[in-house]
Structure formats: C-alpha cells, structure tokens
C-alpha cells in the first residue's frame, strides 16, 4: 500500500546510503536515486543531505520517516484484522522491556491478559532502556516497558503513556541482620556485600549517585546481567541488591526475601514507563493490553513498601 518512491526512500533511510539500499533491494543505485529525487521534487523539500559518507536525513526526511513507520504498522494491523475475519492468522504483540520488568511483572501481566485474549501471540525482547525505546521508535516493537532516570520527553517519535515513580529498594534475605528495619540509608549497608546489575542499568546509576552523595562507595561483590543469579546469591548470603518492587514482588515470597525502602532521595529518582510510537493509531488489542498493563502497574505500586 505504498509507492515505489516511498519504499526506496525508506530503505535508504534505514541503510544510510544508496549503495546499501541497492544491495538490499537488488535494484540499481541510479533507479533508487531517481525515485528519491522525484519524491523530493514532489514534496518540494530535500529529504537527505548527501555526502561522501552516505545519506543523512534532513528534518523533512525525519518527519517523513516517522510517517512511513506509522503507516507501515497501521497497514500491517489492517492486514492482520482482515486475516482474522477469514479465520487465518494470529495477532502478534511485540514488547520490548528492561530486565527488571521482565522478571516478574511482564510474565504475570501476559498470563493475566491471556485469560481474555487466548489467541494472542507474543514477541518479547529484554533490552536496555535505550534499546527498548529504540525498538518502539523504529516500529520493531509495539510497546516498551522501561525504567528511566530522565523526565518523559514531550516531543519526538516516542510517547510516554504512563510514568510512575519506581524507587530502588534494598533487597535481602529474611534472615539478614537488617531485615527488620522499616527504612534504611545507603550508609547502613557498608558492612555487607552488594550485588548489583550492570553499569548500563538505572539501578546501578541510582546506587552510584546515592553513594557519591553520602561519600560511601562500596564496590559490589558481584555484578551480573542475570537477575535470577542475583536473587539466589542474596537469598543464600548476607548480600544486598537493589530493585524496584515491580521487579521483585513475586520473588520476595519465592526466595524468602524482603524489600526495604531507602531514605536516600537519589534512590527514588526514576520512573517506570510505558512507551508507544507517537501518533500511531494503535490496534484494539494493543490498546487493551496497555489498559491491563497500566492498571496492574498501579496496583503493584500501591502494594510497595514506603
């Protein structure tokens, strides 16, 4: 449902050069160039800055690319709906999320959603917050569930539908010497091993910031990008990890852990976000999933210790 010129424009924008687009499309560079030039003439605006290093989108090109991405997704949604009327095909919900929300929250939300939508299939990526957002921006994912330590953007190609404070809690074994405290300070933890996620996570950044503010950096005993390893290590030792309640709420009972709020304001400086492509007309099934997701996020936040 798109013109040849738009298709070629999209491929050049994705690949960054005429030659790369030519290789991908198996079409001559000259043919692609003519179509892109004709599109620019039709729109009355340059879509690319041409240089020896490739093709860089202009502001007008960025605007058109966002439109093409939205249109492609809406085209796919219409095709899926028509296929469903024939009794063929299944809706696929594509979700990108950070590991914290992949631990407990997302699996339990999908199980809840399946009760009323048994025919839905899922494609899930567990990414960094930046990668999850980029998947929504490019149209690869329908929804991103992330933690962010920056304010929700008011412009751009990604829209934040929901943002709620999601502080990092101190998580430890129920038998830990500090487990009976109602609240803790980072300085209370200096005598115990710290288990921490990788440096590109919001949890690491919050811990680093809070430690710098009080002048007590404790080098973590263990770093891992695998949450289950951290949970098991903390369960069987006197180590402490940091996690939001939405990341750990089911693991607390399973692994006999407790989650204790921290007094340090830096450990509260992030939000849990739901992101979609700005301006996209979302299929009904995605809207319904978003409603369920946001409702469950609110319910879990209300259960968190404060």
Domain assignment of residue 81, yes or no: no
- pLDDT of res. 62: 87
Same domain, 181 and 263: yes
- pLDDT of res. 283: 86
Same domain, 173 and 263: yes
Residue 146 DSSP label:
E
Same domain, 142 and 205: no
96-126 per-residue burial string, b: 16 or more CB within 10 A, e: under 16: bbbbbbbbbbbeebbeebeeeeeebeeebeb
Q: Which residue range forms the structural domain that includes residue 52?
A: 4-66
Q: Annotate 90-117 with DSSP letters as a single string.
A: --EEEEEEEHHHHHTHHHHHHHHHHTT-
Same domain, 126 and 149: yes
Query: What distance in Å separates the CA atoms of residue 224 and residue 23, rounded to the nearest whole number?
Result: 40
Same domain, 158 and 185: no
Query: What distance in Å separates the CA atoms of residue 102 and residue 97, rounded to the nearest whole number?
Result: 6
- pLDDT of res. 86: 52
For 248, counting Cβ atoms within 10 Å of its Cβ (0-12 exposed, 13-18 middle, 19+ buried), the class is buried
Query: What distance in Å separates the CA atoms of residue 53 and residue 186, rounded to the nearest whole number?
Result: 49
Same domain, 179 and 151: no
- pLDDT of res. 119: 86
Same domain, 41 and 97: no
Domain assignment of residue 185, yes or no: yes
**CATH number for the domain that contains residue 106:** 3.40.190.10
Round the CA-based radius of gyration of the chain to a whole number and report it. 23
Lookup result for tokens 């590991």: 99
- Number of structural domains, the chain? 3
Q: Which two tokens stand for residue 137?
A: 């921006």
- pLDDT of res. 139: 87
Domain assignment of residue 77, yes or no: no
Strand 92-98 and strand 121-127: the pairing is: parallel
Same domain, 109 and 40: no
Same domain, 260 and 178: yes
Residue 271 pairs in a beta bridge with: 148, 165
Same domain, 292 and 264: no
Same domain, 240 and 195: yes
Strand 48-51 and strand 92-98: the pairing is: unpaired
Q: Which two tokens stand for residue 3?
A: 């013109």
Q: Which two tokens stand for residue 65?
A: 């690319």
- pLDDT of res. 180: 96
230, 220 contact by CB (below 8 A):
no
Domain assignment of residue 73, yes or no: no
**CATH number for the domain that contains residue 245:** 3.40.190.290
- pLDDT of res. 1: 45
Please give the chain's pLDDT, 306 residues, in tens. Answer: 468 888 888 888 888 888 898 888 888 888 888 988 989 888 988 999 988 778 889 989 888 888 888 887 777 766 766 665 555 456 889 999 999 999 889 999 999 999 999 989 999 999 999 999 999 988 889 999 999 988 766 667 899 999 999 999 999 999 999 999 999 999 999 999 999 998 889 999 999 999 999 998 889 999 998 888 999 999 999 999 999 999 999 999 899 999 999 999 999 999 999 999 998 888 889 999 999 999 999 999 999 998
Lookup result for tokens 């590109």: 200
Lookup result for tokens 């709420």: 249
9, 34 contact by CB (below 8 A):
no
Predicted TM-score of the model (pTM): 0.75
- pLDDT of res. 88: 46
Q: Is 35 helix (H, G, I), strand (E, B) or coil?
A: helix
């Amino acid at each position: 449902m798109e013109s040849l010129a738009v298709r070629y424009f999209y491929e050049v924008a994705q690949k960054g050069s005429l030659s790369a687009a030519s290789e991908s499309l198996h079409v001559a560079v000259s043919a692609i160039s003519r179509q892109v030039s004709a599109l620019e003439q039709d729109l009355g605006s340059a879509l690319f800055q041409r240089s020896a290093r490739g093709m860089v989108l202009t502001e007008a090109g960025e605007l058109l690319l966002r439109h093409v991405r939205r249109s492609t997704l809406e085209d796919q949604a219409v095709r899926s709906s028509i296929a469903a009327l024939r009794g063929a095909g299944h809706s696929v919900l594509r979700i990108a999320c950070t590991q914290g929300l992949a631990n407990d929250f997302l699996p339990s939300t999908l199980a809840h959603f399946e009760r009323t939508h048994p025919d839905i299939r899922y494609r899930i990526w567990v990414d960094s917050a930046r990668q999850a957002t980029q998947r929504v921006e490019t149209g690869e994912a329908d929804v991103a569930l992330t933690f962010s330590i920056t304010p929700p953007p008011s412009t751009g190609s990604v829209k934040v539908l929901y943002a709620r404070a999601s502080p990092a809690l101190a998580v430890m074994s129920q038998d830990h010497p500090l487990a009976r405290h109602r609240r803790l300070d980072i300085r209370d933890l200096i005598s115990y091993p710290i288990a921490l996620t990788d440096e590109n996570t919001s949890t690491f950044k919050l811990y680093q910031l809070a430690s710098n503010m009080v002048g007590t950096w404790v080098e973590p005993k263990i770093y891992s990008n695998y949450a289950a390893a951290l949970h098991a290590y903390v369960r069987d030792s006197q180590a402490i990890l940091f996690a939001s309640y939405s990341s750990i709420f089911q693991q607390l009972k399973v692994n006999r852990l407790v989650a204790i709020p921290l007094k340090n304001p830096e450990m509260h400086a992030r939000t849990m976000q739901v992101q979609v492509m700005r301006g996209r007309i979302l299929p009904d099934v995605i809207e319904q999933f978003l409603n369920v997701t946001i409702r469950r996020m609110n319910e879990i936040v209300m259960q968190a210790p404060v």
